[in-house]
Chains A and B, each alone.
Chain A
Amino acid sequence: MSSLLSFENVSKVFPGVRALSGVSFEVRAGEVHGLMGENGAGKSTLLKVLGGEYQPDSGRVMIDGRDVRFACAAASIEAGVAVIHQELQYVPDLSVAENLLLGRLPASHGWFSKPRVVALARARLEAMGVDLDPTMNLRKLSIAQRQMVEICKALMRNARIIALDEPTSSLSHTETEVLFRLVRQLKRERCALIYISHRMDEIYELCDACTVFRDGKRIASHADLKDLPRATLVREMVGREIADIYRFRPRKLGDVRLSVAQLVAKPLTQPANFQVRGGEIVGFFGLVGAGRSELMHLVYGSRRKQGGSIRLDGATVRVDSPRAAIRHGIVLCPEDRKEEGIVATASVADNINISCRRHSLRAGVFLNRRKEAHIADGFIRQLQIKTPRRSQKIRLLSGGNQQKAILARWLAEPELRVVILDEPTRGIDIGARHEIYNVIYQLAERGCAIVVISSELPEVLGVSDRVIVMREGCIAGELSREAASEQAVLSLALPDRANPAAHGVIPAA
């Protein structure tokens, strides 16, 4: 059987990153092809090449054996490709019918007739066997229904190649079933489907074949999933040798510093309990959306708690704002450096001093410029922040150096007790990583309780004394450094449908 879609030696390089290197694989008509791999393995880049958002640097994309080259997203749609991203593209205040026909609304001499649009949409929805009211505004629909609209939109453009990027990440169990029915129907209609998911069960349930990516390379393709052991897939996904870039240093652990008890709030599906000892580094692992960042923002006071208590060195503390947290010695390096970390318009020095300057004021109001300069210069030297001068705008620095400046912001606090780092090395090159790990160890040696959230499994295993795994809004388990193997951590992190305990608690969209 010939393939409907094939990639041949496709490469894509971004400054400093080889996002795809020489990727080849094919999808046949009537096949659901799973793509697996860790975050950053290259799956999304591949979909963007397919969708015409990126142009490959080398290699070919072929549909029906013919070379295609999409200069833009419209060209890809024209060729019968539909890429449905995790972030859906729709207009919330237009009706289902208008969304379905957006850009191609039927009109006569520029006059648009609503009944006609609705009738047309209704006819097509019925033909596809989808039960949706075409007059309903998208804002009023559930996430799953919006996704359905997105897929229908693709079908109305007569798409034959449909790619879905983690479509179930925000769907409930029943919504997932609806989606699966539609996918199977598309399969019967001889479409070629690409299906990206982190959830093993879905891949086994839905896909005919699958391809594993790692570091922008195709690691393996499996034409038949029936007799393929899960362990093989997991090994292929994550099984790189952990070169020791972590240089883990064991240390003596102190008493319990941070103790979180029965924390209840919106995205958490169960009350959260955990403790971190002085000098201990606890890694938090979980899939995207497992609630790790949200839990830490609750601890930091930047999200509102509905109940539960936080104790520091045995004493209960009230943390209802980041300001309160900082005054208790709890600090957080946020996940999204650009949106939540740096003040792009300000200088490196201002970014470092933004919080600690309250300790160096003159007469309680006036800045002590000399002291601030001294602090900034000290950290620029100590952390080797590469900047021509302290008054340089921070936005002109590389990601790694921005991250170091944010670390410096917290290192400048005189009484640090708990340091929470959310994805501290995301998008950061190896050299800067070393330095960031070193800072983490130094802080731990000073007796801080440290939480490291990371989606990179090797990193979590490399730096942590203990690993806490989150799954679907709750803490799924806890492993000591010795017990924390990749398989053990992953099996806790991946939602397993066979495990009813994990599935009573699907987070609300």
Chain B
Amino acid sequence: MQTNEQMSHAGAAGAGGLTAGRPAEPASFRQPLAEYSLVLIFVVMFVAMSFGVEHFFSIDNMLGLALSVSQIGMVTCTMMFCLAARDFDLSVGSTVAFAGVLCAMVLNATGSAVIAVTVAVGAGCAIGFVNGAVIAYLRINPLITTLATMEIVRGLAFIVSHGQAVGISSERFIAFGNLTLFGVSMPIWVALACFIVFGVMLNNTVYGRNTLAIGGNPEASRLAGIRVERVRVTIFLVQGAVTALAGVILASRITSGQPNAGEGFELNVISACVLGGVSLLGGRASISGVVVGVLIMGTVENAMNLLNIDAFYQYLVRGAILLAAVLLDQLKNRGERS
């Protein structure tokens, strides 16, 4: 019991410490081990795949891997805030689809990429705001609320597109999705920027610390003078905006807005968070963990594709990984909350 508690404590403290830049302090031997257990799992996996899977360890494949997780990576950042505040968001997959469709339609109608992206991101903000306001002010369970908005927004995506994929004709917009800098394509840069911005926000701003405090103990946070409702709404609003941006980037990559895009996206994002040590009970999150979580997800998927594993079996593996992640979370939390 004692060991478990110390382990879990060390894991929690360690994960935050990676990017927090706190001064070095004496720690037990067990602490760094638990701190890097995730990184360790990833490194072992990566090395094993580099040797075991043909074509895995190459620049092209690495860039492909990064590109394939770039949208998940962006949204994982904001989902981390959401889970850290003891909230939940199932609507992100639908938002990705809706934003993509909306962006493509506005683009075709106006010919202006700026207007199209603005409208799509604005719609994302609106969805996030509705989620947040219903959850924080009307006190409806986040799971139910976002389950409902997930259905509603998916419906909207089908309605505005009449159930058809909306092709994008603007060459410039498609080129925008394929821009590269130092050989790395734009979506990867955006995801990287998200990791940095949200990492700094979590560790070095009042907003980030208040998010963790709210997730750790909402009542104590309120009594300590934190505007709990406002922070929660902000989290959802930002999540809506970033998710919509991810949807726009996806649309640009696949040169069309697909109303059925991003199905199961929300679960991949949440899996990556949980895999990265974000507690579903709130109050615990780290950006380094989330990065590793996303990379583990991407690596497994990439390796399975390279190994030509049947898509049907890939479902099994993804499910198993999610289960393993939740079990890991449970083990970490054991002894923390009875």
Residues of A within 8 A of B (CB): 300, 302, 321-323, 325-327, 332, 334, 339-347, 350, 354-355, 357-358, 361, 365-367, 369, 373, 388-389, 391, 393, 395-396, 409
Q: Is B183 on the interface with A (CB-CB < 8 A)?
A: no
> Closest Cβ of chain A: how far from B178's Cβ, in Å?
35
A343 touches B204 (CB 8 A): no
Known: A354-B213, A396-B9. A391 touches B227 (CB 8 A): no
Number of A-B contacts defined by CB within 8 Å = 101
Known: A323-B226, A357-B206. A339 touches B13 (CB 8 A): no
In the complex, which residues of chain B have a beta carbon less than 8 angstroms from the beta carbon of A340? 217, 219-220, 223
Asked if B32 CB lies within 8 Å of chain A CBs, one says no
Assembled-state Cα–Cα distance A343/B25 (Å): 22
Name the A residues within 8 Å of B283 (CB-CB).
343-346
Alpha-carbon gap, A325 to B205, bound state (A): 23
**B12 interface hit (Cβ, 8 Å):** yes
Which residue on B lies nearest to A353, using beta carbons? B209
Would B25 and A342 count as touching, CB distance under 8 A?
Answer: no
- For residue B25, which residues in chain A have a CB less than 8 angstroms away from its CB? 389, 391
Complex CA gap A201/B219 in Å reads: 37
Q: How far is the CA of A300 from the CA of B224 in the complex (A)?
A: 11
List the 9 closest pairs (A to B, CB-CB), nearest first.
A345-B283, A345-B216, A343-B216, A326-B225, A323-B225, A343-B217, A343-B213, A354-B224, A355-B224
Contact status A322-B204, CB under 8 Å: no
Say how far A481's CB is from chain B's closest CB, in angstroms.
30
Q: In whole angstroms, how far apart are the Cα atoms of A361 and B204 in the complex?
A: 10
Question: A302 CA to B227 CA in the complex, in Å?
Answer: 11
A373 to B61, CA, bound (A): 44
Give the distance to chain A from B280, nearest Cβ to Cβ, in Å.
13
Contacts A391-B17, A391-B22 given; indicate if A354 touches B221 (C-beta within 8 A). yes
CA distance A332 to B225 in the complex (A): 10
Q: B223 — which chain A residues lie within 8 A by C-beta?
A: 300, 302, 322, 332, 334, 340-341
* Chain B, range 194-233, C-beta contacts under 8 Å to A: 203-207, 209, 212-213, 215-217, 219-227
A366-B205, A389-B25 known, 5 other contacts, Cβ within 8 Å? A342-B220, A343-B220, A344-B337, A354-B226, A357-B209
Instruction: Report whether A355 and B206 are in contact in the complex, using a CB–CB cutoff of 8 Å.
Output: no
Check A302/B222 contact, CB under 8 A, given A346-B213, A354-B209: yes
In the complex, what residues of A have CB within 8 A of residue B22's CB?
Answer: 369, 373, 391
Residues of A within 8 A of B21 (CB): 369
Which chain A positions have C-beta within 8 A of B225?
321-323, 325-327, 355
B292 CB, nearest partner CB in chain A, Å: 20
Q: Bound complex: CA of A262 vs CA of B141, how far in Å?
A: 37
Q: Is there contact, CB below 8 Å, between B26 and A343?
A: no
Across the interface, name the chain B residue whose C-beta is closest to A323: B225
Is there an interface contact between A393 and B226, defined as CB atoms closer than 8 Å? no
Do residues B13 and A393 form an inter-chain contact, with CB atoms below 8 A? yes
* Residues in B neighbouring A366, C-beta threshold 8 A: 204-205
Chain B residue nearest to A346 in the complex (CB): B216
Minimum Cβ distance to chain B for residue A387 (Å): 12
Q: How far is the CA of A342 from the CA of B220 in the complex (A)?
A: 6
- Neighbour of B204 across the interface among A327, A342, A367, CB < 8 A: A367
Q: Please name 11 pairs of A and B residues whose Cβ atoms are closer than 8 Å in the assembled complex, sorted by A.
A: A326-B224, A332-B223, A339-B220, A342-B217, A345-B216, A345-B217, A354-B224, A354-B226, A355-B225, A373-B22, A409-B224
The answer to whether residues A344 and B224 also contact, given A367-B209, A389-B26, A393-B13 and a CB cut-off of 8 A, is no
Task: List residues of chain A with CB within 8 A of the CB of B263.
Answer: none
Query: Which residues in B have their C-beta under 8 angstroms from that of A327?
Result: 225
B336: interface (CB < 8 Å): yes
Question: Inside 8 A of A346's CB, which chain B residues have their CB?
Answer: 212-213, 216, 283
Among candidates A332, A341, A361, A391, residue contacting B13 with C-beta atoms closer than 8 Å = A391
* Contact yes or no, A373 B207, CB < 8 A: no
Contact A365 B207 (CB under 8 A): yes
Known: A357-B209, A358-B206. A373 touches B23 (CB 8 A): yes
What's the least CB distance linking B31 to chain A, in Å?
11
- B13-34 to A contact mask, C-beta < 8 Å, 1/0: 1000100111101100000000
CB-nearest residue of chain A relative to B17? A391
Residue of A nearest to B23 (CB): A373
What are the residues of chain B within 8 A of A354 when measuring CB–CB?
209, 213, 221, 224, 226
- Are A322 and B224 also in contact (CB < 8 A) when A350-B209, A367-B209 are? yes
B284 within 8 A of A: yes
Q: Once bound together, how far apart are the Cα atoms of A344 and B218, in whole Å?
A: 11
* Among B23, B205, B217: residue with most chain A CB under 10 A: B217
B96-136 toward A: CB 8 Å interface, digit per residue (1/0)? 00000000000000000000000000000000000000000
- State which of A323, A326, A365 has its C-beta within 8 Å of the C-beta of B206: A365
Partner among A323, A373, A388 whose Cβ is within 8 Å of the Cβ of B227: A323
